[in-house]
Amino acid sequence: MEILTTQLPSGGYKYPFTSVSVSPMTFLEINKYSENCPKDPLEKYLYDIKFLAQEDPKIYDCYVMDIDFLIFLKKLITVNEDQTTYTLTVKCPECGKEIKKKINLEKDIHFKQIDSKIMEGAQIRLGERAYETIIPTVREFLDVFNTYLRYRTVDDLKMIKIISLIKNFKVAGNQIEKDILGATHSDITLLMALYELYFDRLEGIEVTCPNCVKEGRRGVVTMSVDSLVVDFFRDLYNNCPIDQSKILFK
């Protein structure tokens, strides 16, 4: 399936191509994925990126904010045959009840509106120093990411993503790392705002728990989109039952 770059969280800002290919995983791929997918969150992220890039190498030229959406999308379209609605099972965080939630790709998945001004980057001050931000593509992000995969001086994906937002990592990496990890007070607020601006573009989805509503609680929980596909292999089996025409016993 071809996803138009205008449908991505970045709105396709300054992309030199108009679409990227993302297809549902085949049986073979699902098996490979579940056998080989690393447990370590950093290795897993790299694995997910490479998994997408196998199908379309243009992935390396996409922004990281778009990749996070595409990783999610690939799992979603693997789960359901119909390519616009997806039924997922989520656990109510209040009472633990399993709720079936039907998600419509066009109606339920929303991005925070992107402004072309923020896509041009910014000048920021962190502690004593002035920095310039970039909006990293996967290729640019991997330059930073590979350093941390190797040396593990930082093993928090969120932190590494924030570090990748600062220009000139190659020459000033140590200083940038120090200023970000050691940030205090309003600098933390600034870094969190940058993270939300450049990575966290997907709005959460509201799920209503009938059990909680019955017991007088509000029962509305906002699920982050990532948390919705945690169990996507189980959802695959639940939502794609075989019908009578597929198998005929002798």
Q: Segment contacting Zn ion (CB under 5 A): 5-13, 43-51, 154-162, 212-220?
A: 212-220
Start-to-end C-alpha separation, the chain: 37
Angular region, 25: left φ>0, alpha ψ -120 to 50, beta rest = beta
**CA–CA distance, 134 with 166 (Å, rounded to integer):** 6
User: Is 92 a binder of Zn ion (CB under 5 A)?
Assistant: yes
Pairing of strands 205-208, 220-223: antiparallel
Those residues whose C-beta lies under 8 Å from the C-beta of residue 140, and which sit 6 or more positions away, are: 134, 164
Look up residue 95 and give its amino acid: C
Decide whether 220 or 230 has the Cβ nearer to Zn ion: 220
CB of 80 to Zn ion, least distance (A): 24
Pairing of strands 129-132, 205-208: unpaired
Residues 96-135 that bind Zn ion (CB under 5 A): 97
**Site track for Zn ion across 137-176, x = CB under 5 A:** ----------------------------------------
In this chain, which of 77, 163, 165, 212 binds Zn ion, going by CB under 5 A?
A: 212
Dihedrals phi, psi of 164, to nearest 5 degrees? -70, -10
Decide whether 94 or 187 has the Cβ nearer to Zn ion: 94
Decide whether 92 or 138 has the Cβ nearer to Zn ion: 92
User: Is 95 a binder of Zn ion (CB under 5 A)?
Assistant: yes
Q: Segment contacting Zn ion (CB under 5 A): 80-88, 183-191, 202-210, 224-232?
A: 202-210
Give the binding site for Zn ion (CB under 5 A).
92, 94-95, 97, 209, 211-212
